[in-house]
Chain A
């Protein structure tokens, strides 16, 4: 039998109908979740620096202790889910509410710096783009084994930066192509 995985196709221009009109999730962590509460604004730009108004961002992250599990099980729906999904607006951006993830185990005895796994989908994107959001200024970044895979000159594309105008808000730019193109991972 041939079990070659099914090919990917673009979500197309009407992804909202199936995925985000009624099944968005902007709150990755509810009121009950422990940890440092942060708001993450993603801004998606195309190869000419023009905002992409019809993309979708999905997030997958660990909790504040670095666990990919949902403490408290299924009963406390308001706590921590770890998953988020939003469509970008006309300005190419969308904002999630979550908590800053903890350090996650890496290979062997290593530890990964706090990061959020990001998927970018949209018209003109034939298969999901994967990247990681790291927090600028985080001391653990220096020892992160995945950041170490990235040429130093391109590493800054993976850092979210604090929004100077709003406390606890971070901004992460996703440049799909061209100058300062975001690093995308082959996962």
Chain B
């Protein structure tokens, strides 16, 4: 058991409550992805997929109560410093201070409110505060690179952090990951769970990165590139990057059409 188990006092409930005394409500299924808009599992240019991607086709599962419900997290899961990665230690981390801000909506454009977002990233030098990272770049004693927050009632979230550096990996000769921040979201259901990466505009490494290029559709890849945002930028303090996220929505009912 981990010592620091914050979930022990979690305010967690199911997002879909069923009253057994009433007739069962039909389950409203979530939309399926359009072809090309998500990565394939098997993408040989990303070497690790060769032994970890399934070889059999997935089996289509019509949604049941199991798929349309999911865990819900609350304010007791969040500590005040969790959304500012620059104040988690005695001093300030080195690097370019940034504000990462955006809105989480569903497939109909409706806000996903009060939903947990978790992020993690390398420091400004491109080094993760993880014992397994042996990239010979300096660690920053003032930067762990971990954050979490809840979206507000309109689906907005923001983090203060530093811009992560690019770093080498051993996937192929002279392989470098473009600078990125890992982003994890739950949304309202088991099927809305999403873990992705946010990139920075204009990075010359995009074309060489098999992880980003694993998404077949160019327009879909662009959805992972944040936009510089003057409105989010704070004078004399930090550049702002906007990263909006779309989670799967429900299939529309005949009434809505």
Interface residues of A (CB under 8 A from B): 1, 3-27, 30, 46-48, 50, 52, 58, 60, 62, 67-70, 73-74, 77-78, 81-83, 104-107, 109, 112, 115, 117, 119, 121-130, 132, 146, 149-150, 154, 176-178, 181-187
Besides A13-B133, A126-B49, 18 other A-B contacts (C-beta < 8 A): A7-B220, A10-B48, A26-B1, A27-B8, A46-B52, A47-B50, A69-B18, A70-B12, A77-B9, A81-B7, A124-B48, A125-B49, A149-B60, A182-B54, A184-B59, A185-B58, A185-B59, A185-B60
- Give the shortest distance, in Å, between A14 (CB) and chain B (any CB): 5
The interface size of chain B toward A, counting residues with CB under 8 Å, comes to 93
Contacts of B11 in A (CB 8 A): 74, 77
- From known contacts A23-B6, A187-B190, infer whether A69 and B14 are also in contact, taking CB-CB under 8 Å: yes
Contacts of B145 in A (CB 8 A): 17-18
Contacts of A132 in B (CB 8 A): 66
- Give the shortest distance, in Å, between A122 (CB) and chain B (any CB): 7
Distance in angstroms between the alpha carbons of A32 and B82 in the assembled complex: 30
Contacts of B108 in A (CB 8 A): 3
- Give the shortest distance, in Å, between A77 (CB) and chain B (any CB): 5
- Give the shortest distance, in Å, between B66 (CB) and chain A (any CB): 5
Distance in angstroms between the alpha carbons of A117 and B13 in the assembled complex: 16
B106 at the interface (CB under 8 A from A): yes
Assess the A187–B119 pair: CB atoms within 8 A: no
Contact of B51 among A17, A48, A187 (CB under 8 A): A48
Within 8 A of A (CB), among B165-202: 182, 184, 190-191, 193-197
Assess the A19–B120 pair: CB atoms within 8 A: yes
Can you list 14 A-B contacts with CB-CB less than 8 angstroms, sorted by A residue number?
A: A3-B249, A4-B220, A6-B196, A22-B6, A47-B50, A47-B51, A73-B13, A126-B43, A126-B49, A126-B214, A146-B64, A177-B55, A182-B54, A185-B60
Looking at chain A's contact residues, the main secondary structure is loop
Contacts of B128 in A (CB 8 A): 14, 17
- From known contacts A17-B130, A67-B18, A82-B12, infer whether A60 and B190 are also in contact, taking CB-CB under 8 Å: yes
- From known contacts A22-B2, A67-B18, A112-B66, infer whether A5 and B248 are also in contact, taking CB-CB under 8 Å: yes
Distance in angstroms between the alpha carbons of A18 and B110 in the assembled complex: 27
Assess the A3–B196 pair: CB atoms within 8 A: no
Contact of A181 among B13, B56, B133 (CB under 8 A): B56
Instruction: Name which residue of chain A comes closest to B6, CB basis.
Output: A23
* Segment touching A, from B69-77, B93-101, B154-162, B230-238: B69-77
**Most chain-B Cβ atoms within 10 A of its Cβ — which of A4, A112, A178, A183?**
A4
Contacts of A78 in B (CB 8 A): 8
